[in-house]
Amino acid sequence: MITTRLAEIAEDAWRDHRIMPVRDGNGRVLQLGTAAVEELWQCHADHGYGLCGEFLLTHHQASTLTGMFNDDVPIPNPLIPPVEVELLDPSVGGFLPNCLYHYSDVVAEYRKAQG
């Protein structure tokens, strides 16, 4: 049932937002400062400048890279609107709404925090 739901979420994300999950083993390690996360999603939408191709990070990943470990929004003013999807949350053993942020917005927020 979980595998089926993950496949449905991936299909909906591609159809509605042109974002694609990265298969296990194909993801890169994304590092900012001393924190690192694994690439899980990629954007293939056209935001007005051609195909994007940027990494997309979950709320938790964005919080990890920016050093904001709380429930607040890790990227308060993203240039590219975040994509809302349902993701499997192991801590609750089910699917919860989540946001995917573009890597460029995470980097901009990190640089802003660094001064």
pLDDT of residue 65: 92
**Residue that wins the pLDDT comparison between 19 and 1:** 19
Smallest CA-to-CA distance from 97 within 85, 111, 80, 83 is with 85
Distance CA 83, CA 18 (A): 10
CA pseudo-torsion sign 88, 69, 27, 80: positive
Q: Which residue has the higher pLDDT, 100 or 73?
A: 100
Element (H, E) at 8: helix 2-17
Residue 10 has pLDDT above 80, yes or no: yes
pLDDT at 70: 63
What confidence category does residue 71 fall into, taking pLDDT thresholds of 50, 70 and 90? low
CB 64 within 8 A of CB 43: no
**Mean pLDDT within 38-52:** 92
How high is the pLDDT of residue 98? 92
